[in-house]
């Protein structure tokens, strides 16, 4: 089972991501939702982001735009999470391979240290 975080959980992409994870029965032990303001969504508390938000998470999906990704994605990776970023923040970074799941899914494993791996069309992925 995985401890999963979704940044931008109450936006259109975040809501769709939650739906897809449920539809595919993705193995989630704990789901932590994040948005710009604290609220409740689908009977779950939605948290605001802080530097400590990612402690204990295995996977964090970012769908809150490039500014948020640039500020927090590395912090999530440093906390030990694999970070999948849906923004364009890292897609042109020379040292970050772009992963297209249907074309080069093996590249998601080619990370060293806290290097991010952008994926498309959905996202950029980082792992520590």
Task: For residues 118-123, give the mean pLDDT.
Answer: 50
**What is the distance between the alpha carbons of residues 40 and 124, in angstroms, rounded to a whole number?**
27
pTM: 0.83
pLDDT at residue 122, rounded to an integer: 47
> 115 falls in which pLDDT band (50, 70, 90)?
very low
Residue 111 · residue 83 · CB < 8 Å: no
- Among residues of the chain, what percentage have pLDDT more than 90? 49
Residue with tokens 């923040």: 89
Residue 95 or 66, more confident: 66
Structural domains in the chain, CATH included, are 2-126 (3.40.50.720)
């Amino acid at each position: 089972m995985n401890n999963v975080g979704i940044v931008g959980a109450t936006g259109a992409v975040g809501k769709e991501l939650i739906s897809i994870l449920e539809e595919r029965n993705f193995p989630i032990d704990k789901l932590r939702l994040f948005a710009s303001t604290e609220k409740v969504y689908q009977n779950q508390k939605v948290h605001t982001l802080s530097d400590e938000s990612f402690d204990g998470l295995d996977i964090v999906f970012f769908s809150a735009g490039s500014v948020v990704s640039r500020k927090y994605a590395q912090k999530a990776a440093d906390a030990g999470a694999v970070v999948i970023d849906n923004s364009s923040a890292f897609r042109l970074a020379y040292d970050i391979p772009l992963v297209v799941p249907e074309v080069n899914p093996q590249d998601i494993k080619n990370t060293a240290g806290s290097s991010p791996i952008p994926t498309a069309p959905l996202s950029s992925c980082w792992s520590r």
